[in-house]
């Protein structure tokens, strides 16, 4: 006889609480004492005491899109005044797409040059982006540290210094969070704050000299990597906890998101056994809680149609709908609403079946009442041909994707 889920989860989480312990528009100024006092609440998304997602205090469900480089395109050489995102925001607003998830910083260390060397210009550009969202009526979920190795690279440290709160990496993290959150926390366009992108896919991977981060010295990375550039679950726990605590110094209400992908099919067993043994459904639920630690108050996954083929779960076979259902069940256990932060269907993989796959995901979102999700990807030309998954005004054949999302958003709003 199987033990009740909550009993098993308690034991699993009790175990991990020991194994994961490793280390302990107002302009911001030089020290915390000069930051204006935090208000009782801020606009945007929050979570009720029972775990319900709220928008400006009211229950909310909605589907947005990833506008990955809507802002970071302005950080490219000669593109500081690129405001093409305005047309993008307008296009989305006309289709009842309520919010976008976007990268707040450049992917490579080199792409941080504007912030590090001409900070006023960086924030002038970000001011314009956020003002445009306010004027057009689009919500924003900025993702702070999209490429996980970049901040340690900038700090001149190995990537695993994300797991050390006294590191230069954390010092730079705290500085940047403070400057951004204090500057924009009063904006009605900002819906939440996200740490990064799919950090959980980097943890607990076997081998000292395999699965290392990329090396591109011309873009600011070190010339070589070592085992210190690999992350463990303990590092992720420190990283996410510290990020969320820092956000909470300046914004006590908006959602704080990990940005994680769906856990690897063997995430629990990689953590404990360093083996690619498929996890059970209960272990999957438990690892979701572990990878989204308090005060992170949302469960985040990214999931695509191919995910079920990886082998979820060891004790039952799950299709895409089953994966979403298990994730929603986990969100109820932890009282943290689910954010399906990326989903979509690639034409390069599914061809004539792309629309069927797209609708499979969309139906799973609606049928399981996922409170928040964001399609990948809007107005990102590299994914026109690379993946066949970009949706923009220039590729009319994929317009049906936004039209179908619009229908679901309307039904959700009328419930």
Pair 366, 372: CB distance under 8 Å: no
Pair 89, 393: CB distance under 8 Å: no
Q: Domains of the chain by range and CATH?
A: 5-413 (3.20.20.80)
57's torsion region: left (phi>0), alpha (psi -120 to 50) or beta? left
**pLDDT 10s digits, 312-370:** 999 999 999 999 999 999 999 999 999 999 999 999 999 999 999 999 999 999 999 99
The set of residues, in sequence order, having a beta carbon less than 8 Å from that of 411 and lying 6+ positions away, is 366
Sort 248 into a burial class: Cβ within 10 Å, 0-12 / 13-18 / 19+: middle
Pair 67, 101: CB distance under 8 Å: yes
* CA–CA distance, 373 with 327 (Å, rounded to integer): 13
pLDDT of residue 320: 98
Please tell me whether the overall predicted TM-score, pTM, comes out greater than 0.75 for this model. yes
pLDDT of residue 32: 53
* CA–CA distance, 302 with 291 (Å, rounded to integer): 13
pLDDT of residue 6: 39
DSSP 3-state percent helix, strand, coil across the chain (nearest 5): 45, 15, 40
3-state secondary structure of 118: coil
User: In 10 A of CB 410, how many CB atoms?
Assistant: 10
Q: Which long-range contacts (CB under 8 A, 24 or more apart) does 149-154 make?
A: 149/213, 149/214, 149/221, 149/229, 150/105, 150/106, 150/107, 150/108, 150/109, 150/112, 150/220, 152/229, 153/109, 153/220, 153/221, 153/222, 154/109, 154/112, 154/116, 154/220
Spell 311-335 as b/e; 16+ CB within 10 A means b.
Answer: bbbbeeebebbbbbbbbbbbbebbe
Residues in the chain, pLDDT under 70: 1-33
């Amino acid at each position: 006889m199987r033990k009740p889920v909550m009993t098993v989860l308690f034991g699993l989480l009790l175990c991990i609480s020991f194994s994961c312990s490793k280390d302990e528009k107002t302009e911001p100024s030089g020290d915390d004492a000069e930051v204006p006092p935090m208000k009782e609440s801020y606009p945007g998304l929050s979570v009720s005491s029972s775990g319900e997602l709220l928008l400006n205090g009211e229950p909310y469900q909605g589907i947005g899109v990833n506008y990955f480089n809507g802002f970071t395109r302005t950080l490219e050489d000669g593109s500081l005044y690129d405001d093409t995102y305005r047309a993008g925001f307008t296009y989305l607003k006309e289709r009842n797409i309520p919010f976008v998830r976007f990268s707040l910083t450049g992917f490579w260390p080199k792409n941080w040059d504007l912030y590090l060397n001409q900070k006023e210009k960086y924030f002038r550009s970000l001011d314009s982006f956020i003002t445009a969202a306010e004027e057009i009526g689009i919500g924003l979920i900025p993702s702070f540290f999209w490429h996980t190795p970049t901040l340690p690279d900038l700090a001149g440290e190995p990537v695993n210094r994300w797991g050390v709160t006294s590191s230069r990496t954390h010092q730079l993290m705290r500085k940047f969070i403070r400057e951004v959150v204090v500057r924009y926390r009063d904006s009605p366009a900002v819906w939440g704050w996200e740490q990064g992108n799919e950090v959980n896919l980097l943890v607990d991977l076997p081998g000292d000299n395999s699965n290392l981060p990329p090396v591109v010295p011309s873009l600011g990375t070190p010339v070589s990597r070592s085992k210190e550039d690999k992350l463990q679950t303990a590092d992720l726990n420190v990283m996410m906890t510290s990020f969320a605590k820092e956000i909470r110094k300046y914004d006590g209400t908006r959602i704080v998101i990990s940005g994680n992908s769906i856990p690897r099919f063997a995430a629990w067993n990689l953590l404990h056994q360093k083996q690619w043994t498929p996890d059970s459904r209960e272990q999957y639920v438990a690892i979701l809680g572990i990878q989204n630690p308090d005060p992170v108050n949302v469960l985040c996954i990214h999931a695509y149609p191919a995910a079920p083929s990886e082998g979820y779960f060891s004790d039952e076979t799950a299709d895409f709908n089953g994966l979403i259902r298990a994730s929603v069940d986990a969100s109820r256990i932890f009282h943290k609403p689910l954010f399906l932060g990326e989903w979509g269907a690639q034409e390069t993989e599914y061809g004539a079946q792309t629309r069927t796959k797209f609708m499979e995901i969309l139906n799973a979102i609606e049928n399981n009442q996922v409170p928040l999700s964001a399609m990948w990807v809007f107005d990102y030309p590299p994914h026109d041909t690379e993946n066949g998954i970009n949706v923009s005004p220039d590729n009319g054949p994929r317009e049906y994707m936004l039209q179908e999302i619009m229908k679901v958003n309307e039904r959700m709003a009328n419930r």
